[in-house]
Copies of this chain bind each other. A is one copy, B any other.
Amino acid sequence: MPALDVAGEFETIERLLRPLAHPEWGRGLQDDVAVLPSRPGHDLVLTKDAIVEGVHFLPDDPLDTVAKKLLRVNLSDLAAKGAEPFGYLLACFWSERCGWPEREAFAAGLAEDQAGFGIFLLGGDTVKTPGPATFSLTALGWVPTGAAVSRAGAQAGDLVFVTGAIGDGLLGLKAARGELSLEPERVAALAAHYRTPTPRVDFADVVRDFATASVDVSDGLAADLAHVAKASRVGVSLNLNVLPLSAAAQAWFADRVDPQLSLEDLASGGDDYEIAFTAHPRHEETLRREAERRLLRLTRIGEVTAGSGLTVTYDGLPIVMARSGWTHG
């Protein structure tokens, strides 16, 4: 009986990754490449995100959730463009600490999310690194030809919406680090959001049909809306008073001394993986109905103006955000 290449690259591909491969296009991960048939009437949307242990995830984060988060942050990018995901390529740089059980956990996380999101592994590379564990993922999705939503289409008069809640990314990191003094179930909910955020994949078709510009909230709501303002050459306003908070974030917020500064922090924290988008006011009712149908919270947080840049308001007045430096005008 041949010796097992324990935690070697051959065994990793053969036993852990091959079962995840797309039944046809991934070629059983045996052929150096993936081959995808052209899909008439559709554009291919690609995105690539990279994460490093100690920089983008915590050294004691379980590897199944690291795998899921890596996949989900990429799916979030696709969803914000209106694309439907179907597959991904993966590069794993395993550190010393990534033995066989850690690799199994990583693959198990991928397997669960593949089933949940209906996607498959298409190919990639697996190598060892003397540095921290590092991963890179290229996610692929389809949109009908020409229908991908960019950051650049916002028009003066549009409204600004965001899905779900803002701030759980920032608070989730604090929770995962044990820095929050809240009830245990609140802390657990926030840490879970940090480790396995929910990309708004099932809202992608609504974004595609109605959004004039769209972005996923990864850098921070304020920064991401500023990107939209710049790319669309318009002004965007954000009303901090209506920032949608989760139950856990509300509990945290209730204990703050400076509410304005706290809201600024939540709007700057990033890692939320919600979709922020602009749409014509005539679609507001439809958008609310489509969100409700998906049991998804949708909040109108601002509007698009003929100006330039992001204007953040609190209690009806424009403010200069202390930490991120976003100003009006």
A residues whose Cβ falls under 8 Å from a Cβ of B: 27, 30-52, 54-56, 77-78, 80-81, 83, 89-91, 93, 95, 122-125, 127-132, 134, 136, 138, 143, 145, 148, 150-152, 215-216, 227, 231
Contacts and interface: CB of A to CB of B under 8 A. Distances in A.
A77 B129 contact: no
Nearest to A127: B50
Number of chain copies forming the complex: 2
Given A31-B150, A54-B130, 18 more contacts: A27-B150, A31-B81, A31-B151, A34-B45, A35-B44, A35-B45, A36-B43, A37-B43, A38-B44, A47-B123, A48-B89, A48-B125, A49-B91, A50-B93, A52-B129, A55-B129, A56-B127, A134-B134
B44 A44 contact: yes
A52 B93 contact: yes
Given A50-B91, A132-B130, A148 B35 contact: yes
Contacts of A89: 46, 48, 138
A49 B132 contact: no
Contact of A44 (B36, B129, B216): B36
B80 A32 contact: yes
Contacts of A150: 27, 31
Contact of A48 (B49, B91, B215): B91
A122 to B, nearest CB: 6
Contact of A38 (B43, B56, B134, B231): B43
Given A33-B77, A77-B33, A134-B134, A122 B43 contact: no
A172 B132 CA distance: 29
Contact of A46 (B36, B128, B215): B36
A176 to B, nearest CB: 19
